[in-house]
């Protein structure tokens, strides 16, 4: 049996994304034939007790409450960052300067300026063979990767229009607490950066076109909420211990891609009844492709060249071994889930490290998305009809 070179991983942060990333690190080497063997070495949190609980629950060897000390360790090869956005730049730059590979959750940073500093650090580190990748995991849903392949193969002809939405409803209750995701100094932005970043990256990835200008508007629907830990009375009304919401609840914008293709985008956490509805539809001269994350094993394909009596959107069940990533999982027709994208992310990242190539999406790709987010905010703030993505 071939002895594989170990790659020791430290994850900074835990919570929801920590659970998802842990699943990826734990499962990927058991289903994909990788040249590197990831070891879940240490998980880091602000509170030592919480970090220790996460380590035990998710299978990390040890825990720490000092990320700087972990980054400086000689026995750590890769830093996985799943913290709030306000700390991404500091941790990533320190890790890259210490010669560690970096995986950083999206959005890359809280501003384009921070993202530019991260890209510069990644470019310096690349000279020594160190790689950096941003975690736009939905690229690695097999149906999404397959959609990209179909478009690249010319199956829908010339792209003419793009439509994308990401709708959630977890904030529709005005008494939901004031978490870090609702504070601009921690999160950078609200629905726009949290979920809007996904549809920006996904549509650019699938079409192969970059957004060049945008025109948008944003709104905060509930402008203050109960602080975490505050009490709620029997009537359902919260106590007076409330704080301001400083991010957007809804972001709507249009965008022009390279070549003049027009796109429409909606990111909202107030779509009552929608739990995780990320949808896109790409219309072309020869057909169309549509995807809905709530049916993530399916792709809708329309062939406009078929005989009129045969035309209509066709449901493709993306579970065949020939589909992207799927051959390492279950027999055709046996579905995979949300968590599998994180295993695919680990697979692609470790293969790139073993090959000495730059994984995608790179920090430069993350910066481009950050610039789109910034342009939408600028447009919404000053009412510009169109703001260039610079």
Instruction: Identify the structural domains of the chain with CATH numbers, from first to last.
Output: 5-138 (3.40.50.720), 141-388 (3.30.360.10)
Q: What is the pLDDT of residue 228?
A: 84
In whole angstroms, give the CA distance from residue 90 to residue 76.
Answer: 18
Q: Judge whether 130 and 99 are in contact, CB under 8 Å.
A: yes
Q: What is the pLDDT of residue 3?
A: 76
Q: Is 290 helix (H, G, I), strand (E, B) or coil?
A: strand
Closest residue by Cα to residue 242 from 169, 171, 176: 176
Neighbours of 303 (CB within 10 A): 16
In whole angstroms, give the CA distance from residue 122 to residue 236.
Answer: 49
Q: How distant, in Å, are the alpha carbons of 72, 98, 122 from that of 90? A: 14, 12, 13
Q: What is the pLDDT of residue 235?
A: 35
Peptide bond into 22 cis (omega under 30): no
Q: What is the pLDDT of residue 356?
A: 95
Query: Given the structure tokens 């990390």, which residue do they identify?
Result: 60
Each residue's pLDDT, cut to its tens digit, for the chain (390 residues) gives 577 899 999 999 999 999 999 999 999 999 999 999 999 999 999 999 999 999 999 999 999 999 999 999 999 999 999 999 999 999 999 999 999 999 999 999 999 999 999 999 999 999 999 999 999 999 999 999 999 999 999 999 999 999 999 999 999 999 999 999 999 999 899 999 999 999 999 999 999 999 999 999 999 999 999 998 754 433 344 456 899 999 999 999 999 999 999 999 999 999 999 999 999 999 999 999 999 999 999 999 999 999 999 999 999 999 999 999 999 999 999 999 999 999 999 999 999 999 999 999 999 999 999 999 999 999 999 887 899 998
Closest residue by Cα to residue 338 from 198, 150, 169, 223: 198
In whole angstroms, give the CA distance from residue 60 to residue 332.
Answer: 33
> Hey, which residues does 64 pair with through a beta bridge?
44
For 67, the token pair is 């990320």
Q: Which residues, 6 or more positions from 373, have their beta carbon under 8 angstroms from its beta carbon?
A: 107, 112, 189, 192, 193, 196, 197, 200
């Amino acid at each position: 049996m071939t002895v594989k070179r170990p790659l020791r991983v430290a994850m900074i942060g835990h919570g929801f994304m920590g659970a998802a990333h842990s699943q990826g690190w734990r499962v990927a080497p058991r289903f994909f034939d990788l040249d590197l063997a990831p070891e879940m070495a240490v998980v880091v949190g602000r509170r030592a007790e919480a970090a220790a609980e996460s380590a035990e629950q998710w299978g990390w060897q040890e825990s720490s409450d000092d990320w700087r000390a972990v980054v400086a360790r000689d026995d750590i090869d890769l830093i996985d960052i799943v913290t709030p956005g306000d700390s991404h730049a500091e941790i990533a730059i320190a890790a890259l300067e210490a010669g560690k590979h970096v995986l950083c959750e999206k959005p890359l940073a809280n501003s384009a300026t921070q993202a530019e500093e991260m890209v510069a650090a990644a470019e310096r580190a690349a000279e020594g063979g160190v790689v950096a990748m941003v975690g736009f995991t939905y690229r690695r849903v097999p149906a999404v990767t397959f959609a990209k392949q179909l478009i690249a193969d010319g199956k829908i002809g010339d792209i003419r229009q793009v439509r994308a939405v990401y709708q959630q409803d977890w904030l529709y209750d005005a008494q939901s607490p004031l978490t870090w995701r609702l504070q601009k100094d921690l999160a950078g932005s609200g629905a726009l950066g949290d979920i809007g970043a996904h549809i920006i990256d996904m549509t650019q990835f699938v079409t192969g076109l970059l957004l060049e200008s945008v025109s948008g508007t944003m709104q905060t629907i509930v402008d203050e909420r109960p602080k975490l830990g505050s009490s709620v009375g029997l009537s359902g009304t919260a106590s007076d211990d409330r704080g301001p919401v400083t991010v957007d609840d809804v972001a709507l914008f249009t965008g022009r891609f390279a070549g003049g293709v027009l796109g429409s985008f909606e990111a909202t956490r107030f779509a009552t009844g929608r739990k995780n509805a990320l949808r896109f539809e790409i219309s072309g001269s020869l057909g169309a492709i549509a995807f809905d994350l709530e049916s993530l094993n399916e792709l809708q394909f329309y062939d406009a060249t078929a005989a009129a009596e045969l035309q209509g959107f066709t449901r493709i069940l993306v579970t065949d071994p020939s589909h992207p990533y799927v051959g390492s999982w279950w027999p055709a027709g046996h579905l995979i889930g949300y968590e599998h994208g994180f295993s695919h992310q680990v697979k692609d990242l470790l293969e790139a490290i073993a090959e000495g190539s730059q994984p995608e999406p790179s920090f430069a790709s993350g910066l481009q998305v950050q610039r789109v987010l910034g342009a939408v905010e600028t447009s919404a703030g000053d009412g510009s009809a169109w703001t260039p993505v610079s």
